């Protein structure tokens, strides 16, 4: 399992994160093939998607090596073909999980992770690899569960929950959730990331 989990993607510590992506993929940066998975049904979504693409190109990822997949549509059968890095863009955590569930992306995410390719997700994407995304509705930078998603448990690849966009004011909420749900949390401030390579975990600040 090779994971890069962040709150702000490449917008924070870009040089360190691109180094880790190159190391985990074991490829030259020119050869890395990446697919961006994103919610895309508005001009604002398109704006942030293009912003992410431009940032990747500025970090020497070739534009021709970047594909885009809209998770609001059914997952294409060839979604994992010719792919080294799966990059899930952010968004409303409940919406992201809903579209991944209903449009059949789950089986491909599991297959991708189990093949030891590199999974780079930020914000909502980091949270859904944990034990439950219900925590996304709490804290200072909270998401609204506008779609009334009931099944908020996810893949359980991590035996803890990820608290993205953490600020010090969130600590009382975290203590409350720890008592209620009986599992641990890893907090990620906007300038922090976790690198998971098998059983080895490294934090980037």
Check if the beta carbon of residue 158 is closer than 8 Å to that of residue 183.
no
Provide the pLDDT confidence category of residue 69 given band limits of 50, 70 and 90.
very high
* Residue 28, pLDDT above cutoff 90: yes
pLDDT tens readout for residues 143-191? 888 878 877 766 666 777 888 888 999 888 888 877 777 778 888 999 9
* Residue 205, pLDDT above cutoff 90: no
Instruction: Read off the pTM.
Output: 0.89
Strand ranges of the sheet holding 118-122, from the earlier edge strand across to the other edge: 66-70, 34-38, 85-88, 118-122, 2-6, 193-197, 200-204
> How far is 150 from 154, CA to CA, in rounded Å?
12
Range among 3-7, 123-127, 179-183 rated most confident: 3-7
DSSP at 151: -
Which percentage of the chain shows pLDDT scores above 90? 31
Which of 85, 81, 23, 25 minimizes the C-alpha distance to 52?
85
């Amino acid at each position: 399992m090779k994971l890069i989990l962040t709150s702000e993607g490449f917008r924070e510590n870009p040089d360190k994160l691109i180094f880790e992506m190159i190391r985990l993929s074991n490829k030259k940066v020119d050869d890395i093939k990446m697919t961006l998975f994103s919610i895309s049904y508005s001009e604002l979504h398109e704006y942030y998607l293009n912003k992410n693409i431009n940032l990747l190109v500025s970090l020497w990822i070739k534009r021709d090596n970047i594909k885009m997949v809209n998770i609001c549509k059914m997952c294409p059968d060839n979604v994992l073909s010719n792919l080294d890095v799966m990059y899930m863009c952010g968004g409303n955590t409940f919406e992201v999980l809903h579209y991944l569930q209903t449009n059949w992306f789950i089986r491909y995410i599991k297959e991708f992770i189990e093949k030891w390719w590199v999974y780079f997700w930020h914000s909502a994407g980091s949270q859904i690899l944990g034990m439950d995304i219900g925590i996304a509705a709490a804290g200072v930078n909270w998401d609204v569960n506008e779609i009334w998603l009931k099944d908020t448990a996810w893949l359980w690849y991590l035996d803890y929950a990820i608290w993205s966009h953490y600020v010090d004011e969130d600590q009382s909420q975290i203590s409350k959730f720890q008592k209620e749900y009986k599992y641990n949390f890893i907090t990620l401030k906007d300038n922090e990331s976790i690198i998971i390579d098998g059983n080895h975990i490294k934090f980037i600040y």
